[in-house]
Amino acid sequence: MAFCPFSHRVRLMLTAKQIEHHKIYVDLIEKPEWYKDFSPLGKVPALQLTGVKDQPTLVESLIIAEYLDQQYPQTRLFPTDPLQKALDKILIERFAPVVSAIYPVLTCNPNAPKDAIQNFENALDVFEVELGKRGTPYFTGQHIGIVDYMIWPWFERFPSMKINTEQKYELDAKRFEKLLKWRDLMTQDEVVQKTALDVQLHAEFQKSKTLGNPQYDLAFKGTP
C-alpha cells in the first residue's frame, strides 16, 4: 500500500540499493485471499524473494531492511560495527512513541487526545537530543543511513496536518533546530525524492480514511 509508512521504508531501501523489483499494492481493509500465502498474518509490507530457492517471503519492514543491506552490501546503510548497529536499531524502535502520539492527529481522528501534539513533541525530543549528541548532519554520520531512512516516512507525512487540521502545525524552530535542518537535508536526497508522494495526496488519503472510505487509488496519481 503506497500510503503505508512501513511499506515506504522498504521502497526507500530498494531504491537506495538500486534493486530491480515489482510492486503490488493491496487494499489494507479488504486484503485479497491470496495475500495470506505471502503474509500469513496479513502484515505489510511483504517482500517475496523470487530469485531465491522456494521464493520465501519476508515481512516486517526493519527485518526486510536488514536483509537487503546484508544481501546487497555495495551501499551499506546499517553500521558495520555490531554495537553501533544494535544502538541504531534501538533508536529506530524508540520512534514508536512518536508515531503512537501523533497518529490520531495525522489521521484526522476527531477524538484525538487534546495533549496529542504535546506527547508527540515530547517523544520527538529524544531524536533532537540524539542528533545533537552525534554531532553529524544525519543520524548515521556524514551520509544518510538506516536510521534516517527508517524514520523518514513519517516526516514526509507530518506536513499533511497543515492541510487537514485547523492547527496548521509546524515543529518549533528553536526546540527542533537540528531535526528541521536534518529534514531539509533529507528532502534533497535523490532516493527520498524518487519515493516521495505529494503532501496533498497524503492529506487527501488521510481525510478519506477518517471518513471511513479510504481511497487507496489516490496513490496512482503520483506513486513513484
Rounded CA-CA distance 69/66 in Å is 5
CATH of domain 82-195: 1.20.1050.10
What is the tens place of the pLDDT at every residue in 91-149? 999 999 999 888 777 766 666 677 888 888 999 999 999 999 999 999 999 999 999 99
Predicted local distance difference test score (pLDDT) of residue 103: 78
What is the tens place of the pLDDT at every residue in 39-61? 988 889 999 999 899 999 999 99
pLDDT level of residue 223 (50, 70, 90 thresholds)? very low
4 is catalytic: yes
Q: Return the minimum-mean-pLDDT range out of 83-87, 100-104, 217-221.
A: 217-221
The amino acid present at 32, given as its one-letter code, is P
pLDDT level of residue 221 (50, 70, 90 thresholds)? low
What is the tens place of the pLDDT at every residue in 133-184? 999 999 999 999 999 999 999 999 888 877 766 666 788 999 999 999 999 9
Predicted local distance difference test score (pLDDT) of residue 166: 63
Q: What is the pTM of this model?
A: 0.90
Cell numbers for 218, please give them: 489516490
Phi, psi dihedrals of residue 58, rounded to the nearest 5°:
-105, 145
Write down the domain spans for the chain: 5-75, 82-195
What is 18-85 written as a DSSP string? T---------SSS--GGGGGT-TT--S-EEE-TTSTT--EEESHHHHHHHHHHHSTTS--S-SSHHHH
Rounded CA-CA distance 208/203 in Å is 9
CATH of domain 5-75: 3.40.30.10
CA distances from 46 to 57, 58, 135 (A): 6, 6, 35
Predicted local distance difference test score (pLDDT) of residue 170: 84
Preceding amide of 97 cis, omega within 30:
no
Q: Return the minimum-mean-pLDDT range out of 75-89, 166-180, 210-224.
A: 210-224
Rounded CA-CA distance 104/67 in Å is 32
What is the tens place of the pLDDT at every residue in 15-40? 999 999 999 888 878 888 999 888 98
Predicted local distance difference test score (pLDDT) of residue 121: 92
Looking at 1, 2, 4, 91, which residue is catalytic?
4
CATH topology match: 5-75 vs 82-195: no
